[in-house]
Amino acid sequence: MIIVVDTNVFISSALSPMGNPAKIVDCIENNMDLKLYYNFDILAEYERVLAYDKLKIVKEKKEQVIEFVQKFGKMAVPVPSDIPLPDESDRIFYDLAKEAGAYLITGNKKHYPDEEFILTPAEFLEKIDTDKGTS
CB 125 within 8 A of CB 107: no
pLDDT in tens, 5-24: 999 999 999 999 899 999 99
> Using 50, 70 and 90 to split pLDDT, how confident is the model at 135?
low
Please write the tens of the pLDDT for every residue from 45-80. Answer: 999 999 999 999 999 999 999 999 999 999 999 999
| DSSP element (H, E) containing 100 | helix 91-100
Assign 133 a pLDDT band (cuts: 50, 70, 90): low
pLDDT at position 61 is 93
2-134, what's its fold?
Rossmann fold (3.40.50)
Q: Is 97 left (phi over 0), alpha (psi -120 to 50) or beta?
A: alpha
* The pLDDT value given to residue 134: 58
